[in-house]
Structures are given as structure tokens and as C-alpha cells.
Amino acid sequence: MPKVAAQADAITGRRRGRRVTTSLSEINVIPLVDVMLVLLIIFMVAAPMMQKGVEVNLPVTRRADKLTNTDPLYVSVPTSYRQDRRVFINQDSVPIDLLGERMRQSLQGRSDKQVFLRGDGEVQLQELMDVFGRLKEAGVEKIGVVAQERRNQ
Amino acid sequence: MPNYSFRTKVVGAVIVAASAMVAAQQPAPQPPAQPQTQTSVGVIISDSAGAQVRLAVPDLLALSADRETVEAARTIGQVLWDDLHYEREFYMIPRDTYKSIPPAASIGTVPYERWRELGADGVVIGTVQKVATGIKVELRLYNVKAQQSIYGREYTGAAANPRLYAHTMSDELHESQRSMRGVARTKLTFSSDRNREAVLGTVEKREVKEVYVADYDGANPRRITINRALNVFPNWSPDGRSIVYTSYRTGAPDILISNIYAGTMETPSKGSGQNWLPVFSPDGTKIAFTSNRDGNPEIYVMDRDGSDVRRLTNNPEIDSTPTWSPSGTQIAFASGRSGTPQIYVIGVDGAGIRRISQESYADRPTWSPAPYNEIAFSARTGPGFDIKILTIATGETRQITFGEGTNESPAWSPNGRHLAFMSTRAGRSQIFTVDRDGRNLRQITREGNNQTPNWSQ
């Protein structure tokens, strides 16, 4: 369409040099791809009765899904993270710098790229963002935030 | 099968000794006299969960401060990591994650706890020291959980090629930990126009193709031929001391053997007819080749010195590109006798010919080494070719390249786990290697046009 218009101008000789403004007819997919790349699915699960992992004071919520994963991979962020910058993969204490590589190893051979985050209620969102970033880099696709369900409602 | 592994071990030793002979500056790693305990199960690292064993290879410790030693320490660590990564037997922990771990103060004091935090089951710690004859390299594999050294090696030699120490250690680690033969010390030979000279004589305005050799990873390329003609289809002798190839130095194609360490040349076919595509038999005593001496391209076999020439095929269509079976009793080749080129197998005595490929166009077969009984070939799959692998026992074919440029001239690694081939996927024709499952693609050459690779034993 724009091509035809430009030709007509050229033939008549009028308005030579004037730019023909056109609209881009394709969907620009690049921003969409960007979104897909940073997308990390975060959902909330209720803490199961039997728990592995280190002890943290889980945040409290009103409603949460049941944890159905039979072999969940836990990452725990205790309040001590603020001082020593260490988190736990299941029972294993790991400095935050090595979390990405250790998580890559843990995800090897697992079909679900899913991690359950047991963060202490006191831990700040800023601190968790660092953890999220490293998990994402290691290939984690879904993070389940583990919470304590409020019982006396 | 045990026979095979014995033979390959001896050959590997010869290659190392030979490369030291030809160039005095090449290091010749000497295994220490200490007794080996690698047959014991206890020295093999294994992960309890059955996952891949995770290894870390940090930079070696330079015990002398001169630039050469420091450079060697860095190179050996990186090359050893690459070599181990190449065989995909271990999970190699990326080297950029080691930054937070302090280097070992000496070869005996390893910060095990830090390596355990990184998830390493084993860590290779080493030192490089300047000595009167060159450098001394000591390498140890530590079991991080048991906190003990389970494998150690000490090499002394020249400092000119530190990569060879890493290659040797990698092969020995694969041997001791995985009872398999690595390819780190093997070499590739190929034909290249990288020196950009024009051909002298008959073929005008064509660029020279000379025969080159390089390490399996493309390092240390060296030119073998200097005759300013087309020199193509190089093929290693099993002992790695000679290369046989097709040369157009007299205008017509003929077979030449370059004894690369002795610096001598042989012309076994003595100028009868046009002869090309020579390949050494697995025992190195015979050469199969294509010749039109009887009027039409047919497959022939002769002794290495050119005597006892025997014709295997007799057909008015073209028969070419012979390749030996690992036992040396059969030869596969491409033939146009059914219309389009297809792969056929024939006994070395000329009996029992049978067609094995059912492609639209199949060329350049190469028979894999034991224990895999497979033939890799180039198949036309569109405008170009792709590499396919035919399992002889079942007749099944699988494809390992998928239309990125044209992919031709496959050549097996001596352990049968990898293939070298020529591809135009990166623009000009270059040598690539790929694993037999189609993964782990690597570009080996980058300079000029490179083709018809062959892998040393």
C-alpha cells in the first residue's frame, strides 16, 4: 500500500522528497519476548504439616493452595540472611553467590523447574528479589511462596 | 573388545612420544614412577544419588612468579576443564563461579568446605613449577566429601605447549574414573586454503589446498604439505605418524604418504592411472583407494608400499570413497550402480557385496570404531547435505545435522563418541565436531576454507 502511494508521487512529480508516512503492519514481538524472558510464576502454597528445611517463621496468610508436589525443592531464607547472606537449599546452607550454580545442579534431571520458597516473615522484599533473580537465572520457572494458613478465622 | 582398548592405549603413548620427537620444544609428559591404584573401586568418585559427578577445575597454582609459569598455570586449568567438559562424562561446574573460593595455599591444603558449598564432588588442584628442564606440573583429584586425594599425576617437560599436560591429565582421568578413552590427545588433519597461495601449474586461479594437522580442539595448527597444489582427503595412519592423501601436484590426482615426523614422503601407487581417496586399513598395512586405472572409478586395495594391488569392484558406474570396517575385513563405499549414489559394503576379498543405505543420495561413508557398528555419511536433504548415521545391525538411520548450511565429510573420533565434519553453517566451509547424538557442536577451524577432516587414532 505505501509502496503504491510513493510510486504515484514519483510519476506525477509532485511532492517529491516528501516522506510517506506508513504504519508498521507487523506485530512487534520483541517486547513480548522480553516479557516472557523475565516472567517468573509466583504462587502461594500452604506449609505442609511435615516440613523439611531449616526453621523459619513463615508469613501468615488467609488462604493458600495445598502443596501437592511429592518431592519439593525448598529454598529457605531465614532472618540471619541479612547478616551472613546465606540461604538454604533444603537443609544445605549456601552463600547467596553460589545459589545460582547450586540451583542449576539441583534442577538437573528434574522435570519441574519449580522451587518452594520458605522465607521468614521478617525478610524484606528487597532481599527476596535478589534470591528470585538468582533462581530465575538458574532456570527456575515457578516459585511457590510457602505460607502458614491462619487457622482461627 | 579388550584387544581394542589395549591397542588404543599403546597408540596414544606413541602419539605423545612422536610429537615430542618432531618438535623439540613440545613437552613430553612423563607419568611418575609411583604405583597406580586405579583398578580399585575406592578411588572412583561417585555421587550417591546417581546423578552426574560434579567436578571443579580451578586455575593451577604457579609456584614460580615468572610470566611463563603463571600463564601455563592458567592455561592448564582452562584446557583441562574444556577437555573434561567435551566428553560429557562429568558435570563441569562453570569456572566463573569459583571466584569466591580462595585458591589452595598448597597442593595439600584444599578448602573442602567451600568446594562442598559449590556442590563439587571432586576438585582438581594442581601446581606448576619452573624447573631446569622446563616446568613441573602436579595435579591431584580430591574427593570433596571424603576430603582426600584419590588420583595424582606429576609431569615434567618443556614449557612450550602447556595444553598437552592438560590433555594428558584429561585422558588419564577419563581412563581411571570412567574406564573410557578420551580424545584430548588426538589430532585432526584436514585440507585448507588458509595460506591463500594460488595453485602453480595446471589448475589456474584456484587456491592451494594444503594438508594441515591440529589438536582435536583446533589448537596448534600445523601445515604438512608445501607443494602448492590441491592436497585433499587426508587420512591418518593408525600409529599417527603418517598421513595419506590425494595430491594434484603433478596435475593428475595421485596418492601420497607424508611421514610427518620423519619428514619423508612416499608415492605408493607409482603413477598408474588416476588415484584418489586413500584410506589406511585399521592395522596400517594396507590402503584402500579409488582409481580409474582400468577405465572407470573402482575400489582397489594395495599394501602400504604399493605392492599387491587388488581390485574389489567391477561396475560401469562410479564406485568411490572407501572406508574400512574396524576389523579390517570389509569395506564400505559409495556407488552409483543403482542410479543415485548409495552406500554398499563389500568383503576385502571382493565377495559379498550388499547395499545398506536407502537414501535419495548418500555419499562419503565412514565406518565407526568399535564398539559402535555404525556408518556415518552425507545425505542430500535439500539444497545441501546433512550428516546421517546408519546402524548396520538394525538398518536404522538417524540424522544429526538439520539443514544449517551443507554438512559433509563426517569422520569418527577414535572412541566413536564424536564426529568431525565440514559445514558451511558459519559462512565459509569450516571443520566442526559434534557428538554422536547430535549435541555438543563445536567449531574447530576459523581461518580460510577447511574441509575433509580426519581424526587420528
Give domain limits for chain B: 23-30+192-455, 36-160
Asked whether residue A43 is assigned to any structural domain, the reply reads no
Q: Are B422 and B452 in contact (CB under 8 A)?
A: yes
pLDDT band, very low/low/confident/very high, at A12 (cuts 50, 70, 90): very low
Q: Which residue of A has its CA nearest to B52?
A: A108
Taking each helix axis from N to C terminus, what angle separates B163-178 and B2-22, rounded to the nearest 10 degrees?
A: 170
Asked if A108 is an interface residue toward chain B (Cβ–Cβ < 8 A), one would say: yes
Question: Is residue A18 in some structural domain?
Answer: no
Write the CATH number of the domain with boundaries B23-30+192-455.
2.120.10.30
Task: Judge whether B156 and B92 are in contact, CB under 8 Å.
Answer: no
Indicate the DSSP class of residue A101.
H
Overall domain count for chain A: 1
* A99 lies in some domain: yes
* pLDDT on residue A112: 85
One-letter amino acid identity for B421? F
Judge whether A90 is closer than 8 Å to chain B, CB to CB: no
Give me the domain span that covers residue A108: 73-146
Q: What span, in angstroms and rounded, lies between the C-alpha atoms of B266 and B135?
A: 38
Q: Which residues of chain B approach chain A closer than 8 Å at the C-beta?
A: 51-52, 54, 91, 93-94, 97, 99-100, 117-119
Q: Tens of pLDDT along chain B (457 residues)?
A: 333 333 333 333 333 333 333 333 444 444 433 333 333 333 566 655 557 899 999 999 999 889 999 999 999 999 999 999 999 999 999 999 998 888 877 887 889 999 999 999 999 999 999 998 899 999 999 999 999 899 999 999 998 899 999 999 999 999 999 999 999 999 999 999 988 776 665 555 567 899 999 999 999 999 999 888 889 999 999 999 999 999 988 888 999 999 999 999 999 987 678 999 999 999 999 999 999 999 899 999 999 999 999 999 999 999 999 999 999 999 999 999 999 999 999 999 999 999 999 999 999 999 999 889 999 999 999 889 999 999 999 999 999 999 899 999 999 999 999 999 999 999 899 999 999 999 999 999 999 999 999 999 8
Contact of B343 with B351, CB cutoff 8 Å? no
Q: Spell out where B271-425 has E strands.
A: 275-280, 286-291, 298-303, 310-311, 319-324, 330-335, 342-347, 354-355, 362-367, 374-380, 385-391, 397-399, 407-412, 418-423
Q: How far is CA B284 from CA B241, B243, B278, in A?
A: 11, 11, 12
Task: Give a yes or no: residue A131 inside a domain.
Answer: yes
Instruction: Give CATH for domain B36-160.
Output: 3.40.50.10070
A94 contact B CB<8A: yes
Whole-number pLDDT of residue B208: 84
pLDDT at B34: 37
Q: Structure pTM?
A: 0.81
Residues of A in Cβ contact (< 8 Å) with B102 = none
Residues from chain A contacting residue B54 (CB–CB below 8 Å): 105
CB proximity A137 to B under 8 Å: no
Nearest residue of A to residue B92, measured between CA atoms: A105
Number of residue pairs across A and B with CB atoms under 8 Å? 29
Q: Do A97 and B52 touch (CB under 8 A)?
A: no
DSSP-derived letter for residue B384 is: S
A97 at interface of B, judged by CB pairs closer than 8 A: yes
Contact at 8 Å (CB) between B384 and B397? no
The shortest CB-CB distance from A102 to any of B52, B100, B119 is to B119
Nearest to A98 by CA among A80, A86, A109: A86
CATH code at position A139? 3.30.420.270
Of B51, B52, B94, the CB nearest to A101: B94
- Contact (CB<8Å) A105/B119: yes
Q: Do A98 and B91 touch (CB under 8 A)?
A: no
